[in-house]
Structure 1
Amino acid sequence: MIRFGLRLTVAGGREAVSRLVIIASAVAVGVALLLSTVAGLNAVDSQNVRYAWFNTGFEDSQPASDNAPVWWQPSGDNFAGNSIVRFDVAGTGPTSPVPPGLDRLPGPGEFFASPAMHELLATTPHDQLGARYPGHEVGIIGDDALPSPESVVIVVGRTAADLEAAGAKQVRTIGVTDPATCSRCVIGNRTDAMTLILSVVAGALLFPVLIFIGTATRLTAARREQRFAAMRLVGATPRQISVIAAVESTAAAVAGTVVGFGLFFIIRVPMAAVPFTGMPFFPSDLTLSATNVLIVGLGVPLAAAVAARFALRRVRVSPLGVTRRVTPRPPRAWRLIPLVVGVAELTWFIGRRPPTSMQQVAAFLPGFLIIMVGLIIAGPWLTLVGARLLARRANRPATLIATRRLADNPQAAFRAVSGLVLALFVTSVAVGVITTIVAYRSPQAANEGGDAALIMWAEPDDRANPDVLAVPGVRSATLVREDPSVRETGPGMNLPGVVTCADLARTPGFGRCPDGAQTAQVWPELVGYGEAADPARVWPAARFTVAEAEKLPAMTLVVNTDGTTATIERARTVLERAYPDRVRPPWWDGDFDNDFTRALTGWQQLANVVILASLPIAGCSLAVSLAGGLSERRRPFSLLRLSGVPLRMLRRVVLLESAVPLLVVALVAIGFGFGAAQLFLRAQLDYTLVAPGMGYYVTVVAGLAASLAIIMSTMPMLRRVTGPESARND
């Protein structure tokens, strides 16, 4: 029977081969996306493992070792939006451990740089970056030690005496603990958060693909059922029919699975460039385990065989089952229940956000998936409602025919557009969330004049002021001192910093003292958290005289610049050379804004992947469904043409049958998309949804216009399949 089933798979000539190719293509896309999601999770783990040595000295426990210790001092730095990871090291013997990617420890006056850091040093003026690292480059850090091709890392050699005086620690082993399993590690990916993101992305991509596969599998389903029913009438058993049906679907699924693996390896390189962890991956990170390959390679064809067995259950019950067809019962309003449940699930977590990312995965992901399933379940009922509303205003034969057909079988009508409906829901959620986050957390200028304040912590002193003031573009350097009473009694209503009014007057963009005051109470950065500098602000007077204030311990040095990258980085270099052993380097608000921008870029690229992948897949599903529907209904359409119905009227019927469920349910999907985004934002971030920009509306209109264009593209087929010869009984 298996051989016979394989012969029947292509026995229908061009039509059978076309059906096989379409099903295989749908399966291939689904397999490629599934493999990409699995490989993405594996890539996050691989990237995290290479962060392990960054946490040297911070692991929960270190194995015993007879190695000679190495002085180890990690620190961070920034340059023009790039986060630099720096390690100062000094070996104490020939057996001192060596970090991965290096062939030896650098000596005093030497450093190893990652490829990205090497490029920065080679293309940047020395006084903006290179002067921070005395000595010369002696090698490139290997890729096996870098989490990403864009990792900016430098390992600087120092003397043991310098690092001991700077408070560095001694370690005998280089860290190898995965940050995902290390409670004390300070750098690495939050793999549970990545699981949340990739799970949502996988669901958003796989739902349209599954609909596409289902639509392709049902292509010419009526004719196949008639063929199997005829075989039953001549003596075939239900089991034999099941085997034949399973062979047909499995053959297409096997071919699609093979192509899907090939497609995955084609898209693996561009997928590696998507920085959804904040940094891109190496292509070699997107790997598949043997278990992954076996599950997908065997599971997809097996699922196709099971689906085919259930798809033709009517034929197995009775060989006359395909002819005993009646109008299905109309869908009922209970189909809205899953939508209500999904909304209620997301609503319940407002004010009850789980504390960990994995708990947030379990909290929010089911709500989104339930709403997506709810749209599929509620779609036929919404289509029926739309058809009935249109029928009340119908005044043309084409409208009456279309609404009657929609009312008779809204399930089939909605099935054709279900993929597009889900794509619009996913697009609305992604755009709504990202637009709102950008609106709440977009970078802001440090003050109204476009200046930028570079801030130095860790008790600076006046000896750096003349040097930093000599940098072109630096306007002032204000020393903020610490109020001991605030430190002892708690902040209360007092501000923790003290500044002389003379110094504050040289920094007019950050406010002024009250009239007659000698000193003022200020924030350490001269601006409050989340605030912009305000020249009109009047700080409260402090109780210290100028002489008393100058004896207070230094707290921060606020350097006011013209805001240009060159000025900021030159001033930062001067300060770092003056204080080489500060673990926390000078910073300004733009450093944090750049970190956010990188993360936002990753989210936007993921959203673009979802939108650009789901819309074409849904369009293909629509085209296949329309073509299959016209092929199945060619005899009744031919009879209508023989009875005198003009072809243009049949075209209007087909257009209305597809456009009504598309437009009605699309509006509902968009509404639920924004509603789900609002609930998620309130529960997770306590934000209120911000309306998206014009780009979203252009995307939606373009998607709907493309869908209508796909519908119109099937009209030439209507002429071919409704000729007089199609009116004959087969």
Structure 2
Amino acid sequence: MSLRQWWRDLAMGVRFAFAGGREGWVRALLTAVGVGLGVALLLLTTALPSAVAVRHQREADRTDITYSDKIIPKAADTLLVASSGTTFRDTDIRGRELEPEGPKAPLPPGVGKFPAVGEMVVSPALKELLDSSDGKLLRARLPQRIVGTIGESGLIGSAELAYYRGAEGLAAQGITGGRITRIDRFGNPSPVQERTDPVLVLLVLVVFVVLLMPVAVFITAAVRFGGERRDRRLAALRLVGADGRSTRRIAAGEALAGAVLGLVLGTGFFLITRQVAGSVEVFGESVFPSYLDPSPLLALLVGLAVPAAAVLVTLLALRGVVIEPLGVVRTAKPSRRRLWWRLLLPLAGLGMLYPMVGQGRDGGDFNQYLVTGGVVLLLVGVTALLPWIVEAVVARLGAGGVSWQLAVRRLQLSSGTAARMVNGIAVAVAGAIALQMLFAGVEGDYSEDTGYDVSRAQMQVSVPEGRTLAATARQLAATKGVQDVYAFDEGYANDGQGDDAHFGRVTVADCRSLRQVAELPSCHDGDVFASHVAPDADGSGQHNADGESGVAAKPGKTLYFDTSEDPAKPTSVTWTLPKTLKQARSIPDPTGYRRGGILVTPGAFSAKAAAGVRGEIYVHLDESMPDAREYVRNTAARIDPLEEPMTWVSVKRNDRFDTIRTGLFMGAVCVLALIGASLLVSQLEQLRERKKLLSALVAFGTRRRTLSLSVLWQTAIPIVLGLLLALAVGLALGVVLLRMTGTAVRVDWPSVLSMTGAGAAVVLVVTLLSLPPLLRLMRPDGLRTE
């Protein structure tokens, strides 16, 4: 067979698709829409690495606070930068105060001119928030006049909240490199390449495979839309002289036409999505449209692979179909599907993953090819096993109502079509179950218990230099939404000035606050206590003990507080213990620690020694009041614009782990949307092919309710079987992945069931959406033929 004949047959199929009347156009359009949705998601996926890289680069380009101990001298090209970021309703706001020290001071990326004192430039999203009614509380915290907006080059996302505002006198507040620093250019001068965590790399690999596999499954299903009508047209071609091979190539040409049109539609869908992406925020993450720039090589691969897959899938699908001049031998009982080769795929996948079992993060990087190949084979095994399972189960179904019998008989005649419809759902659910198990299993390695007692306090405010603890505590206590405050002056003192000196913790607070950290026999202003950390109830020792005194608390002893800012020039203040000391027993304070050392009431602490302690205030909120935290942040901003209150959480997670999990959720939303859209298109195509059959049943008196229930059963039976298979494969894959990471195997049943329920919910929504078209098709005039 010459290549020229191949091209002629393919070209004829393309002409049939676009010049074959309404039937050809409808089929080509259905195929194109199904393929286009998949292509759009594939292009979006190929653009994600670029988006992540650009975000990281933008973040690196605007780096200013590097926490470096090295302080550069003041010059004409230096700039003082102070960190003044804040939080508004759980959303971080990046904030900087700028004070140029010369005419050549570097401008931040995206900023054309330094804001003056009392002015600020903000991101477009922050400007929109401040101008809205929702931003009224935040506006009280950021009252400066807005004189411009930050350009795209200075932001990591379209929805990022950020600002730069003018400042003066920053040098007088102390250049520490962490809170206030001096720079001569933006960007990290000495970036550190962190070691990549093998488990996180494994998570990323599995996430990409799991998200892309359903897309590939749906594309292969989309190119087979309208298969039965197409085969009847091919029988007509045999009647006019075409041989069997030519008809198959012509069919491949029709599929190729739909796939190419799908590429065009998919590109359009991607460009629309790309523009919309600039105005939406998903799970707290956003991008600019320009960030979503697919790799040319990957885009070319998609452009070549999709049409090639359309041709191959069509040729493979027609291998078992005998197309004769008088009809298509498809309605005869097909040969029984073989099981043995279908089991080889998941077993081969397990075989590829098995060598890495027990490797964990200490055994080096996981082999990316084995991981990808193993997961792909396991998920492809779902698509191979599901048709066999559906055929085996429906062959044994029988007695029931009329709607049940109609559905079962239809499934017995075309179980392969039903299995193809739910393959994508099954693959997506199986992958999601495995990922949820893996995330739940390793989550403990990337999260830690902070120890904070959030029932006693929910925020912490540091008292700035120059303000007294009592005045700051009164101001916070008077804030709306605050139920109580516990105020402490804290520091460390030495019992001598030599190398042999011991140090211990000193806590100054009123009696009510001291009772939050120790059991006191009695307490009056002027008392001093020696606090001891007693062993835990189980005798395990001093759990969470912080700062147990190394100082022998003896009456009349002199303690030294270090007040020097320069280690080369030590300075200190002294305080003498009173003649009477009371004993106290330490208890866990609101931060979760047991503080030993010396507890002092304000009346017993000298004003001179106050320079050696630093104030910390724990704030107990009225959680029933909306925006209680925002009122506290506003008060804290008035006290010190550079001091952001700390919000306590009971568990803290690794940022990279959270980023990967967020990426999974974002991808899952897109895949579920694709699943729903493609399944709906497939369902409509199936109903369209059965239009005359439905009309005939209605004409003979079949109730519409019965037909509607039969359609529901036809969808429900394969879905239940697909979800059960997905549950089994997902659990197996999850167990293997957990064993690979060296994590104890534990099934997170709520997550597993939620993933299974999400798949079932998508199918239910699609079925409900297909009912109106079904009712329109169930009319006797559908039998009319021209």
- Pair in the same fold by TM > 0.5: yes
Q: Secondary structure at the match of 1:215?
A: coil
Matched residue, 1:542: 596
Matched residue, 2:640: 576
The correspondence for 2:673, drawn from 597, 604, 612, is: 612
Q: Structure 2 length as normaliser, TM-score?
A: 0.67
Deviation at 1:569, TM superposition (A): 0.8
Which digits, 9 at most, give the CA deviation of each residue in 1:218-268, with x for residues without a partner?
35343244245445xx36695x65664443233222322222222222233
Deviation at 1:18, TM superposition (A): 2.0
Name the CA shift for 1:693/1:260 in 2 (closer, same or farther; >3 Å): closer
Greater share of strand residues, 1 or 2? 2
The correspondence for 1:51, drawn from 59, 72, 84, is: 59
Matched residue, 1:621: 682
Deviation at 1:207, TM superposition (A): 3.7
1:24 matches 2:26: no
1:213 matches 2:222: yes
The correspondence for 1:148, drawn from 152, 157, 164, is: 157
Which digits, 9 at most, give the CA deviation of each residue in 1:469-514, with x for residues without a partner?
32313622123434879xx99xxxxxx9846485574265x45336
Instruction: Report which stretch shifted further, 8-17 or 146-155.
Output: 8-17
Q: Distance in 1 between matches of 2:693 and 2:630?
A: 71
Matches within 5 A, 1:206-355: 206-216=215-225, 218-230=227-239, 234=241, 238=245, 244-273=250-279, 275=281, 278-288=284-294, 294-297=300-303, 299-312=305-318, 327-332=334-339, 335-339=342-346, 352-354=359-361
1:417 matches 2:429: no
1:562 matches 2:621: yes
1:78 matches 2:132: no
Name the CA shift for 1:308/1:504 in 2 (closer, same or farther; >3 Å): farther
1:387 matches 2:423: no
Name the CA shift for 1:670/1:419 in 2 (closer, same or farther; >3 Å): same
Equivalent AA in structure 1 for residue 422 of structure 2? V
1:376 matches 2:383: yes
Q: Distance in 1 between matches of 2:233 and 2:138?
A: 74
Q: Distance in 2 between matches of 1:31 and 1:320?
A: 37
Matches within 5 A, 1:32-47: 32-47=40-55
Deviation at 1:360, TM superposition (A): 9.4
Equivalent AA in structure 1 for residue 384 of structure 2? I
Deviation at 1:205, TM superposition (A): 4.9
Would the aligned equivalents of 2:58 and 2:155 in 1 still touch at CA under 8 Å?
yes
Deviation at 1:669, TM superposition (A): 2.0
Deviation at 1:717, TM superposition (A): 6.0
The correspondence for 1:662, drawn from 694, 707, 719, is: 719
Q: Distance in 2 between matches of 1:568 and 1:197?
A: 43
Q: Secondary structure at the match of 1:379?
A: helix
Matches within 5 A, 1:646-725: 659-673=716-730, 683=741, 689=748, 691-692=750-751, 699=758, 702-706=761-765
Would the aligned equivalents of 1:109 and 1:158 in 2 still touch at CA under 8 Å?
no
Q: Secondary structure at the match of 1:506?
A: helix
The correspondence for 1:114, drawn from 100, 116, 123, is: 123
Matched residue, 1:453: 459
Greater share of helix residues, 1 or 2? 1
Name the CA shift for 1:456/1:567 in 2 (closer, same or farther; >3 Å): same
Instruction: Report which stretch shifted further, 20-29 or 402-411.
Output: 402-411
Equivalent AA in structure 2 for residue 43 of structure 1? A
Equivalent AA in structure 2 for residue 335 of structure 1? R
Q: Secondary structure at the match of 1:147?
A: coil
Would the aligned equivalents of 1:211 and 1:621 in 2 still touch at CA under 8 Å?
no
Q: Distance in 1 between matches of 2:355 and 2:612?
A: 50
Q: Distance in 1 between matches of 2:400 and 2:283?
A: 56
Give the fraction of aligned pairs with identical amino acids, expressed as a percent: 21
Q: Distance in 1 between matches of 2:638 and 2:742?
A: 41
Q: Distance in 2 between matches of 1:500 and 1:536?
A: 14
Name the CA shift for 1:57/1:377 in 2 (closer, same or farther; >3 Å): same
Instruction: Report which stretch shifted further, 695-704 or 47-56.
Output: 695-704
Equivalent AA in structure 1 for residue 424 of structure 2? G
Instruction: Report which stretch shifted further, 552-561 or 606-615.
Output: 552-561
Equivalent AA in structure 1 for residue 640 of structure 2? E
Deviation at 1:272, TM superposition (A): 3.9
Would the aligned equivalents of 2:207 and 2:664 in 1 still touch at CA under 8 Å?
no
Deviation at 1:376, TM superposition (A): 0.8
Structure 2 residues not aligned, in runs of 5+: 1-7, 69-74, 523-528, 534-543, 549-586, 623-627
Deviation at 1:723, TM superposition (A): 7.6
Equivalent AA in structure 2 for residue 463 of structure 1? T
The correspondence for 2:16, drawn from 8, 11, 22, is: 8
Name the CA shift for 1:378/1:101 in 2 (closer, same or farther; >3 Å): same
Equivalent AA in structure 2 for residue 542 of structure 1? G
1:475 matches 2:485: yes
Name the CA shift for 1:543/1:15 in 2 (closer, same or farther; >3 Å): closer
Q: Secondary structure at the match of 1:102?
A: coil
Equivalent AA in structure 1 for residue 187 of structure 2? G
Q: Distance in 2 between matches of 1:113 and 1:303?
A: 49
Deviation at 1:379, TM superposition (A): 0.6
Aligned length: 680
Q: Structure 1 length as normaliser, TM-score?
A: 0.72
Would the aligned equivalents of 1:482 and 1:555 in 2 still touch at CA under 8 Å?
no
Name the CA shift for 1:665/1:242 in 2 (closer, same or farther; >3 Å): closer
Name the CA shift for 1:694/1:555 in 2 (closer, same or farther; >3 Å): farther
Would the aligned equivalents of 1:76 and 1:85 in 2 still touch at CA under 8 Å?
yes
Q: Distance in 2 between matches of 1:341 and 1:79?
A: 50
Matched residue, 2:579: none
Matched residue, 1:530: none
Q: Distance in 2 between matches of 1:503 and 1:350?
A: 57
Instruction: Report which stretch shifted further, 711-720 or 49-58.
Output: 711-720
Would the aligned equivalents of 1:512 and 1:538 in 2 still touch at CA under 8 Å?
no
Instruction: Report which stretch shifted further, 301-310 or 538-547.
Output: 538-547
Q: Distance in 1 between matches of 2:115 and 2:737?
A: 49
Q: Distance in 1 between matches of 2:141 and 2:13?
A: 70
Would the aligned equivalents of 1:195 and 1:361 in 2 still touch at CA under 8 Å?
no
Would the aligned equivalents of 1:434 and 1:603 in 2 still touch at CA under 8 Å?
no
Q: CA RMSD in A?
A: 5.8
Q: Distance in 2 between matches of 1:464 and 1:396?
A: 79
Would the aligned equivalents of 1:35 and 1:264 in 2 still touch at CA under 8 Å?
yes
